[in-house]
Structure 1
Amino acid sequence: MDLLERDSALADLDALLADTAGGGRIAVVSGEAGAGKSSLATAFAAAAGPRAWVLWGACDPLLTPRALGPLHDIAREVGGALRERIAAGERSAVFDALLDALDGPRQRRRPVVVMEDLHWADEATLDLVAFLGRRLAVLRVLLVITYRDDEIGPDHQLRTVLAGLPRTLVRRFPLAPLSVQAVDELARRAGRASSSVYAVTGGNPLLVTEVLAATDSAVPATVRDLVLSRLSALSPEGREAAGFVAVVPSQAEPALLASRGAGVEECLAGGVLSATADGVAYRHELLRRAVEQELSPVRRAALHADVLAQLAARAGVDPARLVHHAHHAGDAAAVLRWAPVAAVRAAGVGANKQAAAHYELALRHAAGAPAAERAELLEAYATVAYLAGQIVEALEARRQALTLREQAGDTVRIGENLRWVSRLSWWRGYTRQARQAGVRAVEVLESIAPGPQLAMAYSNLSQLHMLAGEATAIEWGERAIDLARHFGDLDTEVHALVNVGSTRMERDPGQGGAELERAHALAAAAGLDDHATRALANKACQAVEWCDFDIAEDVLERVLNFAEARDLDGYVRHLLGYRAAMQLARGDWAGAQADAETAMSGPERPGPSRSTAQVALGKLRARRGDPDAVDILFKAEGPAYEADEVQFVGPVSTGLAEYYWIAGDPARAAAEARRGYELAERFGHAWFAGQLAYWQWRAGEPIPVTELIALPYRLLIEGDWRGAAAEWERRGCAYARAEALSCGDEEATAEALRIVDGLGAVGTARRLRAELRDKGAKVPRGPRPATAAHPTGLTARQREVLTLLAEGLSNADIAARLTLSAKTVDHHVSAVLGKLGVPSRGQAAAAARRLGLLAPR
């Protein structure tokens, strides 16, 4: 079929390929099934000809997708190190080998990587797309990805991956159905009446093609009718071959078709099947499914058993294919044999969701298996489910495994499972149950000769004490370190070192921070990515909580780069929540919103892990006067208070107190602050205690001033609003400085209003003006509506910085001109670049002139 109404898309793809001379680009092609995504990609590849080196990979509609399915296809084309490493299953080495293959000499043809049908992609493939997206700026590569936009729901991981791709590199190609005019033209060329063709196809290119190719002049109503009309013209051998190929997703290779050669040839001649590079297949997945669904259950199971027998007899077959056919053949023994193998392979390349799905399938067939075998499956399933973020499922599996181990009297495994139940209970937000299971794990493992399992149980208790702000974490951690070193268990040793360093950092940030840096280096060198990330994450998060933003910014950048390079998505989301809190404090509200929304995207997860991001976004919206702010804060409230840890309760309590103060309900604001203050005081957390003491005081309640309350809040409560404002300015916190100034004299209050107006804090400004009116004081006029709703989201200060930047001033010159610190100007410049969506100062100046943003001088 001619690609009518796709000329524009082809031209744009060609332009993107040409544009890769300056760096990588991404084409995202979407549409319903049959919209012509593959046809467009194929036509583009043919038109690119000798200018492009096209590498093609596709995802398969298997029961559980193959791990890195498209990359296996690409590796066959590339060969060399990539093919060797993907066979070995080492994820980081595989990704690096792909980069090496793509990063060739400039005179080489430009690589075009096509990944089709990402709606069926496994977790590792989606991680690969995100991995490439972060590195394409320095590669001369065009990445073309296709997916069915009607088959991914709002919680599909592909949506998160697409949202995280660099916006400046992405061009989207949503493929609309063909118009009535285009269908009429195609019908005219085929010598057919067009009136009914469009009516039954809706302009879907695949259906149009099939209808016009049908020999019967009548127009079939469905794909099923189209296929059946084709099959009815075949001999019994041809129908048998068509049915056999229908149960093999994607394509059937020649080795599977040896006994059906004549039937396959008839299907090819009749247009039922098409030849591919490596076998035969239906021209579209819709057609294959239509044939498969027409098979009787008995016939379908027999054909799957036939495919399974042939594949199992060959070496090197992906076990995910064997699992697919074993399941549909109803062969429980084969599922139990191959599903764990497929799970191990998937987990090895980071496809933990697919690994969990394989183990789950095996468990459904394991009812009659020995108890020890079921316990091992449950433990393996729980581990990958935990890594996939499926905390509820992992916890339940560990509890079931614990019951089986207790029935068998296996003390070591009982202790291990209790320790895991402890850890997973904490993630779920069940802090008390986590402590109980952790103590039991130690008691059980201390009843037998010491081993590595006891060392990790000690470290688990150390971590729980550390998270509760208890100094006993150091004692438990040192026990774990001594025992781990005795057994040469570096994994447990580093885990405990992170706990001890994090606890010491609460009391001595310099010493504790240095210990965490050493733990990070030790873990990174040993390839213990989880521990290496946790070490820096703990340092960064505490620096944010303690408003030490210079340290926080440096460590957050390093740990985010480390975690993103290893596709540790759970850590990345956690850290983005903290970076959002930092950006909110420093006045980069567009950045805070983007980070918070990214951290909160994807499927809902139980527990308080998203509370930091939720509070950052809730505070931002409350300050802007958005009515839905409290709904976001309420989502964070329940899990945070259930966990009963200050890292969760502190932000939620301050967020709700601030919301109610802005809403004009000081009594409720004070109540929310009191609710969290007791816990912050018990934990000895000076900064959360300071924030909550401030909100009680601001709401009109007396609060005793103690050394526990952090300095800027203590100064403010004691009446030194100037000192508090100066301290916040030193830390680069414009909004908190405005809060302090708003407690001062008339001039200071006016300055506070200028700051919050410039930030777009409509809700806060409204509340401050109401307070002034209540006092009978003069109320400065607010910004004009056009200024408050500036289309770029730039604050007044950022517009000043942009104007000076466009004049060619350096950051140091801008700092001197505006009487700001160089560090503060750095933050403003970064925020300006982000809001304008440009990578450089020069492009920012050009955009400012084009958009008319420059203030008159």
Structure 2
Amino acid sequence: MTIHMVSPLFVGRAGELAALGDALSRVRAGASSTVLVGGEAGVGKTRLVEEFTGRAGDALVLVGGCLELGTEGLPFAPFSAVLRGLVRERGRDGVAALVPGGTTRGLARLLPEFGEPDRDGAEARARLFEQVLGLLERLAEEQPVVLVIEDAHWADRSTRDLLSFLVRYQRSDAGLLIVVTYRTDELRRTHPLRPLLAELGRVGWVSRMELRRLTRREVVEQAASILEREPNATDIEMIYARSEGNPLFVEALLSEAGGGVALPESLRDLLLAGVERLPEETQELLRVASAGGQRIEHALLTAVSGLDDAELSSALRPAVAGNVLVVDGEGYSFRHALIREALHDDLLPGEHTRLHTRFAQALERDPSILPAPRGAIELAHHWHSAHDATWALVSAWAAADAARKSAAYGEQLRMLSRVLELWDKVPDAAERIGCDHVDVLYRTVTVAHVAGEYERGIALAGAAMKELDPDADPIRAARLLRKRGIIRYDLGRSGHIDDLRQAAALVADGPIRLRAQVMENLARMLHATDLWPERIATAQQAIDLARQGGDPTVEARALIALTWARCRDYTEVDAHLGGFAEARRLALGADAYNALLACAISESDTLEGAGRHERAAQVAREGVAEAERYGVARTSGAFLSINLVEPLVSLGRWDEALDVIEHALDLVPPPPYQASLQGMGMDIALARGELDRAEELLDRVRAVVSRGVFRDQTMLPQAEREISLLLARGRADEAREAAVRALRDDVPGAGPRYVWPLLVTVARLGEPLPPELAAAAGSTKVQGAVQRAHHLTFTALTGLGPGSSRGAALEGVVHPAGGDVSADGAEAGGGAGRRLQAWDEAVAAWTALRQPYSEALTLADAARAALACGERQEAAARVARARELAEPLKAAPLLAELDALVGRAQVASGRSRGAAGPDGAPVGSPLGLTARELEVLRLVTAGRSNREIAGELVIAVKTVSVHVSNILAKLGVASRGEAAATAHRLRLFAGPQ
């Protein structure tokens, strides 16, 4: 009888194999494709991929596996493996010729063969990501490329980030198929791969498949292929019952039992049974190898075992023949990770410590055994696993530096955190690493910031400041304060300006370049209107210092801050925009992508504030593309997406704006950026009448805003949204309370750009208008065309124009609930004519700005003013134009309001009197309500109960209840309060109730 160790026949995966083949066909046809292949351990993921790649024809197959190392994988391990394989096949120069830009200094972070890496920082990581993607795309120009990343459940954070970048940002016609395998049974609820899989699952060209266990029939086929005979029914029942259809367990059971003898009781025993049949010296060597991970180099195993090449090969040969180990390049891999895990778990505590110590000592003796940075990181792992605090600390410090050179900031942060954890256990820690505790804290703060761990960075900076005396050590204190100030600013926390001002004072006589950096940071964060003179002076000082110190990057950023401040009044933007162009030139010359993106952020923001919506969108869109190219789509790219959404909303391109929001949120940007994007999504939801969606988004934004201190560009739009949603829900009193809070707490000191939209929102609440409204309007400047349009709208709503007093102004204001329109639509006096003229001026301002929604809103108000003047044809023309603008926006509440205006115009003209539709509603009656339903709604809006309405209309309470139910159904609302709010918003009834 013959027993194969692995089934020669590939069983039960025809559908999955076909799906992978279809994905490759799509790639050949010029589409992007990624397949995520999940399944429990032993279910056959690797076998499926091997079968598929074996049939991939002329495609170039690149395979890299994530390597387990403690609780995290090795940084970029699969990509280093892929690159190493390419170098073996094509040579270093051959690979270098394919790298975009001709420089391989980014790839040097993965393989030392490419020389010295370029400079550190976020720019390095961006360049590395871009070069890996560019290399793959260049390869795919020659032939289709299949990139296989195996065992992604072991991927470290840097590997996950690069994988996400490759999937998302490859060209749609790149000719690249990415296949990712992972263990589903490893993905506990907090596993870091879970959010990545969810994120990638929303990408259009990504598909997921999960390998099921084999059926009983398929197990029979697999067993027959292994045994070279049909198994008998008794054997197959036992095999199927014990394996539950897992192919690896079927193989192990058949191998151990030979088809009929007693089987091991546990899975662990089953996996170890194949090992225990091997010679004792082979078993011992396998136990040694298990401490080295899933894959181990021949040279390292030789060094750890103490055997020479011949002895090692002789001892390992039975393991290879028994299919426990497989030869893998210059080393060996366990045929399945479960076998290694079973061996390693079987080690006694003393054996565990001794083996990891032997690995660490071997790597100490000859660091060249493993390539950098893998050697340094594995050394740290082994000393840590050996529970040697001193050498665990020393090796973690070295591993952090190695991770930095690889731009693996997550791993670097983990190693530095380990140093801090072990510090008190090593009395001479500072002497061992040549760095005191404060310096370790500072370095960890810096890495936490780059890695996006803002909260941790702030906490660590605070801990470091407690250990310092600023008077005795001003320079280090200033560096820490500067770093904490930047992180606080990025997170939206208070105290950032105080930190930077204190840092500036500490370095007044310090190094020029540090002074320039601190002054530039401070200038960038001085946003309040009353601080603009300080911002301009501070930015100019930073420019001068940067020029003295020869730092073009800081000079560019300071010039951006200066230009932004000079453009804040939006009246002479063209005279200052050249500052952005000069900053861009400096940033490009210094290869400073951060400054380049900062320039795009400030320029697009300035253009939008000035009403140059198309140009603002163009600059922001180009910035988003640049951020994606540099690999910072999640941070700078998300911020630029905010700056792109804002002009798109202004231009009425709402569906496009929602697409941008969705794409940016899929990247899981920092919480403040998420809040801004979701807030803009809420603006659209409110305008479209999607109140539940708006409330959901508002709750998400609140959760972020409540945890920090934010600038007026966040807080004032948030206040607008709160007020508008409360009013839409029929909670007018609460809306007024929210308005008073905003005018009292948020408006003082805020810039005019965000104050005027809030004032307009508050003015639309109607009487009683809060006294703070007049004070805010009187103290807020008007700067630029957009603010002028808001001011004209505000003046038309309230009459609170220049030189007006609140009492006089409000005395003749059209009440926002609809104005006092008589039966024939006429209104006495010239006040109505003046109001119509004011509204027409506001309409003209919004028309010039090409903001269709704002134009449509003011047209509706102008139509009401025209009705008040008895100008029914003029009102109809304005309503028709407003409809043209509102319909493409799907602005349902505004469209309903326009319908109501049409009905009022018809009632006022007398055309609908006596005419009734099939349901008894007068022709042209608002929202299809009958005359009696309108009467009931008027009284509901006035706050009457059903019994009070019945008494006033001399009808039964039950009849009132029926009318109210009909009204709610026709208005599409759920409560009397919402019905009243709708009537209020649509101005269905004249005058105060």
TM-score range relative to shorter protein:
0.7 to 0.9
Preserved CA contact (<8 Å) 2:152 2:193: no
Residue in structure 1 matched with residue 76 of structure 2 by the alignment: 68
The 1:502/1:119 distance shift into structure 2, 3 A limit, reads farther
Helix, strand or coil at the partner of 1:286: helix
CA distance in 1, matches of 2:904, 2:213: 61
Q: Aligned partner of 2:149: which letter?
A: M
How far off its partner does 1:639 sit? Answer: 4.5
CA distance in 2, matches of 1:728, 1:290: 71
- Indicate the larger mover: 537-546 or 395-404: 537-546
The 1:331/1:23 distance shift into structure 2, 3 A limit, reads farther
Preserved CA contact (<8 Å) 1:251 1:279: yes
Whether 2:330 is the aligned partner of 1:278: answer yes
Residue deviations 1:407-450 (CA, integer Å, cap 9, x gap):
8932211111111222222233322x22222222122222x445
CA distance in 2, matches of 1:774, 1:362: 75
Preserved CA contact (<8 Å) 1:111 1:140: yes
Preserved CA contact (<8 Å) 2:617 2:643: no
CA distance in 2, matches of 1:149, 1:750: 58
The 1:52/1:428 distance shift into structure 2, 3 A limit, reads closer
Whether 2:793 is the aligned partner of 1:716: answer yes
Preserved CA contact (<8 Å) 1:663 1:767: no
CA distance in 1, matches of 2:475, 2:883: 63
The 1:509/1:67 distance shift into structure 2, 3 A limit, reads farther
How far off its partner does 1:394 sit? Answer: 0.8
Whether 2:450 is the aligned partner of 1:387: answer yes
How far off its partner does 1:572 sit? Answer: 1.6
Preserved CA contact (<8 Å) 2:61 2:145: yes
CA distance in 1, matches of 2:335, 2:514: 55
Residue in structure 1 matched with residue 155 of structure 2 by the alignment: 121
Preserved CA contact (<8 Å) 2:68 2:74: no
Residue deviations 1:74-100 (CA, integer Å, cap 9, x gap):
111111155864323445665565456
Residue in structure 1 matched with residue 247 of structure 2 by the alignment: 205
How far off its partner does 1:179 sit? Answer: 3.3
Residue in structure 2 matched with residue 648 of structure 1 by the alignment: 714
Residue in structure 1 matched with residue 400 of structure 2 by the alignment: 343
Preserved CA contact (<8 Å) 2:478 2:507: yes
Give the counterpart of 1:538 among 602, 626, 630.
602
Residue in structure 2 matched with residue 509 of structure 1 by the alignment: 573
Residue deviations 1:660-688 (CA, integer Å, cap 9, x gap):
23222333334434444567754563332
Residue in structure 1 matched with residue 862 of structure 2 by the alignment: 744
How far off its partner does 1:239 sit? Answer: 2.5
Whether 2:298 is the aligned partner of 1:254: answer yes
How far off its partner does 1:554 sit? Answer: 0.8
CA distance in 1, matches of 2:215, 2:208: 20
Q: Aligned partner of 1:58: which letter?
A: G
Preserved CA contact (<8 Å) 1:27 1:144: yes
Q: How does 1:301-700 map to 2 (within 5 A)?
A: 301-312=353-364, 313-315=366-368, 316-317=371-372, 318=374, 319-367=376-424, 368=427, 369-370=429-430, 372-406=435-469, 409-431=472-494, 433-446=495-508, 448-466=509-527, 470-471=531-532, 472-507=534-569, 508-544=572-608, 547-568=611-632, 569-601=634-666, 608-622=672-686, 623-637=688-702, 639-640=704-705, 642-677=708-743, 681-683=747-749, 685-700=751-766
Residue deviations 1:740-786 (CA, integer Å, cap 9, x gap):
2332326345665675565444566567778999998956669xxxx
Q: Aligned partner of 1:341: which letter?
A: A
Preserved CA contact (<8 Å) 2:648 2:654: yes
After TM superposition, the score normalised by the length of structure 1 is 0.82
How far off its partner does 1:545 sit? Answer: 5.3
Residue deviations 1:437-477 (CA, integer Å, cap 9, x gap):
2222122222x445322222222221221366721111111
Helix, strand or coil at the partner of 1:30: strand
Whether 2:257 is the aligned partner of 1:215: answer yes
Preserved CA contact (<8 Å) 1:504 1:511: no
How far off its partner does 1:154 sit? Answer: 7.7
Unmatched tracts of structure 1, length 5 or more: 783-857
CA distance in 1, matches of 2:498, 2:191: 34
Preserved CA contact (<8 Å) 2:903 2:926: no
After TM superposition, the score normalised by the length of structure 2 is 0.72
Q: Aligned partner of 1:396: which letter?
A: A
The 1:161/1:269 distance shift into structure 2, 3 A limit, reads closer
The 1:8/1:355 distance shift into structure 2, 3 A limit, reads same
Preserved CA contact (<8 Å) 1:28 1:171: yes
CA distance in 2, matches of 1:222, 1:624: 60
Q: How does 1:150-299 map to 2 (within 5 A)?
A: 151=186, 156=192, 159-160=195-196, 163=199, 167=203, 169-187=205-223, 189=225, 190=227, 191=231, 193-215=235-257, 217-218=261-262, 223-258=267-302, 259=307, 260-299=312-351
CA distance in 1, matches of 2:330, 2:665: 42
Unmatched tracts of structure 2, length 5 or more: 1-6, 97-103, 119-123, 797-837, 864-874, 909-923, 929-993
Whether 2:47 is the aligned partner of 1:39: answer yes
Helix, strand or coil at the partner of 1:31: strand
How far off its partner does 1:739 sit? Answer: 2.4
How far off its partner does 1:588 sit? Answer: 3.9
The 1:23/1:358 distance shift into structure 2, 3 A limit, reads farther
- Indicate the larger mover: 716-725 or 565-574: 716-725
CA distance in 2, matches of 1:563, 1:108: 28
How far off its partner does 1:355 sit? Answer: 1.7
Residue in structure 2 matched with residue 734 of structure 1 by the alignment: 852
Residue in structure 2 matched with residue 26 of structure 1 by the alignment: 33
The 1:649/1:560 distance shift into structure 2, 3 A limit, reads same
Q: Aligned partner of 1:206: which letter?
A: L
CA distance in 1, matches of 2:398, 2:491: 29
Preserved CA contact (<8 Å) 1:273 1:281: yes
CA distance in 1, matches of 2:23, 2:181: 16
Residue deviations 1:588-610 (CA, integer Å, cap 9, x gap):
4444334334444566956x343
Whether 2:259 is the aligned partner of 1:141: answer no
Q: Aligned partner of 2:300: which letter?
A: L
Residue deviations 1:161-192 (CA, integer Å, cap 9, x gap):
87469945434433333334423433455526
Preserved CA contact (<8 Å) 1:624 1:760: no
CA distance in 2, matches of 1:252, 1:155: 26
CA distance in 1, matches of 2:925, 2:847: 24
Helix, strand or coil at the partner of 2:209: strand
Q: How many residues align?
A: 778
Structure with bigger gyration radius: 2
CA distance in 1, matches of 2:248, 2:654: 46
Preserved CA contact (<8 Å) 2:726 2:734: yes
Q: Aligned partner of 1:241: which letter?
A: L
CA distance in 1, matches of 2:756, 2:535: 24
Residue deviations 1:530-559 (CA, integer Å, cap 9, x gap):
222112112223444555321221111111
CA distance in 2, matches of 1:154, 1:742: 52
- Indicate the larger mover: 186-195 or 24-33: 186-195
CA distance in 2, matches of 1:771, 1:304: 81
